[in-house]
Structures are given as structure tokens and as C-alpha cells.
Structure 1
Amino acid sequence: MTGVTTARIGYRRLVLALLSPAKTLDFETRPATRKRSEPRLLDEAEALVAVMRSRSPEEVAELMDLSDDLARLNVERYAEFSAPHTWRNARPAVLAFAGDVYQGLAAPTRFDERDFTEAQKTVRILSGLYGVLRPLDLVQPYRLEMGVRLRTERGTSLYDWWGDRVTRLLAEDLEASPGAPVVVDLASQEYARVVRPDVLGARVVTPRFEDADASGKHRVVSFFAKRARGMMAGWMVQHRVRTAAALKNFDEGGYRWSRERSTPDEPVFLRDPRG
């Protein structure tokens, strides 16, 4: 398969953004790029698919708290899952996921071909099924949240299943970066938990996005924060961000960096929707 590989030449430092996947998927819209690559932990994903194929629709519904219709849909998805991943049965992850984070990221309309190549180097998507994905890695329709209590030969959760495999792959992506590599954690806590800081060997920066309520007090609003994480990831790609300090320049969607509220490893961005 002709893919996009992670280039490590010509960069002063690698700043890697982590995102969660999305439950909402889009496999209908024509892809905005023909670039693609294959998931690097596909063998592990196929093993998980085999586990899920052994579950009845009722078991899947209970496992993931789904309606009967959604449970049947996902049982069908696992039955149809196949390798290799091709344009016939899969889409690049950054285009397949279509939830709030990816609405904020807006890759189909925001990225040109150079941006897609840059994103392949600097963005990683954590996944319950695939472990960790590059943006152009092909994925098939699925639903398997990282936090589900799925019993496998490795334990009782997907955290047990993945162990340090996800972290070691991220560390490999970071190891050629000169100086101290930086990871910008834009994932939810559920997904970020699969990354083991002691194995990663990188500085982790976790941005926080807060919106003002009617009284003017700022707090995290989940819907807005998800979109803001996607916006920041897209902004990082387009601005070729190479240092943690550069994050304070993020100003999309009305957010502004707060010097008073921020720490070096938790920059805080505030917004007042009332303008």
C-alpha cells in the first residue's frame, strides 16, 4: 500500500497532539484526500474483532450501553470487518470520525495536501479498537470505547489489552525528535489513560478550555471543550507548532490564553460566548 510515513528530518522538535476518536462516523462523503496508510496495530485490532464476534447483540448492548438497534448495527460491523483495509471498505481516520472534536478540527475543508502530510507526522488518534492511529490510517466502521469492561485473555479491560503497546508506539514516533519531545494531550480522560507517562518519556501538556456562564464564571463545558480540542489540533497542524510555548498563541473560536490561570503544563484558554 502506498502510504504516508512519518518523516523525521528537518524538524527542530516534534510536538505530538493526541485526540480521542468519535462515535459519529462519516463513510459517505467523498474523501478530501487520496493519501492513506495502514494502521500499525492492525493485527491487535483483528484479535479484538474476533473477541467481539463472539458476543451476542444482547451482550454488546450491555457492554457498551447501546440500544438494541445500535447493538445489532455494531454486531454487523464486526461481522463485516476484514483485512486488508482498502478504499472499498475503509476511510482515513481523520475523515471517518465526525463527532464534536472532528467538527472543530474540520480537516475535510481546512487541510490542503501539505496539511494532511503534516497531520500524519504530528497528530495521533487513540482508539479502543486500533490502539493508536495516524490521521491517514484507514479504518472501518466500528464502535469500541476505550473504557468498556471487555474481558480478554489479557485482562478485564481494554487498558489491560493494550498495556504499554500504545505508549511504546508513541515513544517510537517521538524518539528521533531533537531536544525534549512534547505531547499535547487533547484527548478525553478515558482515552488518555491508555498512555503511560513513565514509558512515554516526554513532557505532557494538557490544555484546558473554559467558557463563561451567565454569571461570568468560567468553567469547562463538554460540548465546547471537545470542539476546542479539535480546533487546537487543526491550528497546530496549520501553524506547524514545534514548541509548547507556541500554544499560548492559539486564538480560534474566540478563545484566548489566560496568563493568570495557566501553568506551563496546563495552559488555560477562556472564552465569553456573549462576546
Structure 2
Amino acid sequence: MLFILSPAKNLNEKDPAPVSEYTLPDLLDQAEKLMEEVRLLSPQQLAELMHVSDKIALLNAERNAVWHTPFTPENAKQAVYMFNGDVYEGLDAPSLNQQAVNYLQTHVRLLSGLYGLLRPLDLMQPYRLEMGTAFANARGKNLYEFWDNRITDLLNKTLADLGDNTLINLASQEYFKAVRPNKLNARLITPVFKDEKNGKYKIISFYAKRARGLMVRYAAEHNISEAEQLKDFDYEGYVFNDAASNENEWVFLRQEQSK
């Protein structure tokens, strides 16, 4: 069983990683090719392309200018400790023990606009390049065309190495579009998290993102090996609802808390 997550826009560059072990991204050579093109963009071009403020555009132009290989623990940081958004707050990797971290490294992959596909302990240097960015490059008009089948091929290889054929999709739609389901040698399961509000259940973005991280944490802490075991996921009040689910979409509901 393999989980996929989206990355985060916010990065924690300040705090050191709590572990010393690391790996290098499998698609780092592709990231180098992509960065050669991205770093040619001026701050103004980055602001227009990514629809960000001048301040954020300047920060990322500076990041692009100093981005370089080889990656070392001195100039890069393990991805699962670098990403700092809602998903990663739910996962809270710094508080996991070594056995759980080992589980993450084996069973979790992080999609990335720049790096393609990362293991949790893969070193990365700071960047911002969302998968949905319409960045025209040598391979096509956007990043989906740049990555083409490369991410899917690596997922298939990873699943084969695991001896498993189940992929748990905890990525956003923007990032999952980088995967080619028709070329995936796997059963695909997409958990959906809904919260009750005013008597109705709906997907609330902040809570749903956090729940994705919580589910990965649950799997790591319980050393989950079979997808069916995920139906017992109950962190922060979520409960699997069989009636609302189907074979490929598993729905977890959380009741509104009384005030």
C-alpha cells in the first residue's frame, strides 16, 4: 500500500530536521532540467505566472537563483519536515518515533511540481512551483506535460518494489492530475473527509487537508499494511461511513461539535 500526498506552499526552512538519515529524489535530474528554465523568469514574470505578490515572487526568484546540486544536509532538508501546510500539521512528522518515520519513507510519496515525486526523507531545497502552474517549457505548455508519464512510471515501480498494488490517493485534484490512472498498475482508493455543518455533511478544505495528514499519521502509528484497516481511522472524530462510500471512494464523516 502506498499513499500519495500533495506538497505545501509554506515551508519550514528554520527548524532543523529531527533525523539525520536522508535520501535523494529519484527524479532530481528532471528537476535540474526544469529549474534551468524556471530560474530564467524574472520576479515580475513569476508574480504573473503564479498569481502571487511581488514579495513572494522576489523570494522565489532568489530561491531559484541559489538552487543547486548536489543536495546535502547542509544545503537542503528532508521533504516531510520542510513542507509546512495543513496536511503536514495533521501528519506532524517531527513528533513521530523512528519506526513511524521508517513507515512513512516506505509507504508515502509526496507529489511536487518541481521534484515530481518525493520520498519523505528525500532532501529538497526551497521552491514554489505548483503543479497546476501553466509554465510553458521545453516539453509542453504546462507541468503536466513536462512530467508526462514519469511520475506514474515511478509510482508503478515503487508499488512493484513493495509487492503491492493499492494506491491511496490523499492528494488534491491539482496534484493528482499529474498521475495517469489509466497507466497505473494499482487499485486506486480515494478517501474523502466531510464535516457536518448546519446538519449537512460537506468537504471543508482546511479540515479535509488536515485529515489527509491525520490518516497518514494513523497508518504510520498503527503500521497499517492492508487498505481495509484504514476504515478504522478515527483520529479527531472521523468515522468511516459505508453507506456514503463505494469501492474506490471511501467517505469519512465527522459530526459537528456541540458548542
TM bucket, shorter chain:
over 0.9
Picking from 188, 195, 200, the partner of 2:172 is: 188
Picking from 91, 98, 103, the partner of 2:84 is: 98
Deviation of the 1:117 alpha carbon: 1.3
Cα deviation per residue 1:178-210 (whole Å; 9 max; x = unaligned)?
Answer: 4x6100000000000111112221001000000
Deviation of the 1:175 alpha carbon: 1.1
Identity of aligned residues (%): 46
List aligned pairs for 1:201-220, cutoff 5 A. 201-213=185-197, 215-220=198-203
Deviation of the 1:176 alpha carbon: 3.6
List aligned pairs for 1:107-186, cutoff 5 A. 107-109=93-95, 111-178=96-163, 181-186=165-170
How large is the Cα RMSD of the aligned pairs? 1.0
**1:85 and 2:71 are equivalent in the alignment:** yes
Separation of aligned partners in 1, 2:236 and 2:209: 12
Decide whether the 8 Å contact of 2:100 with 2:223 is kept in 1: no
Structure 2 residue matching 1:59: 3-state secondary structure: helix
| Structure 1: gaps of 5 or more residues | 1-14
Picking from 267, 270, 275, the partner of 2:250 is: 267
Cα deviation per residue 1:105-152 (whole Å; 9 max; x = unaligned)?
Answer: 00101x111211111110000000000000000011100000000011
Equivalent in the alignment of 1:11 = none
Q: Tell me the TM-score normalized by structure 2.
A: 0.97
Cα deviation per residue 1:148-185 (whole Å; 9 max; x = unaligned)?
Answer: 0001111001000000001100100111444x610000
Q: Tell me the TM-score normalized by structure 1.
A: 0.92
Q: Which amino acid aligns with 1:37?
A: T
**1:197 and 2:194 are equivalent in the alignment:** no
Separation of aligned partners in 1, 2:247 and 2:157: 25
Separation of aligned partners in 2, 1:157 and 1:226: 25
Runs of 4 or more consecutive aligned structure 1 residues displaced over 6 Å after TM superposition: none
Cα deviation per residue 1:35-73 (whole Å; 9 max; x = unaligned)?
Answer: 110011111111111111111111100110010011010
Picking from 63, 67, 74, the partner of 2:49 is: 63
| Structure 2: gaps of 5 or more residues | none
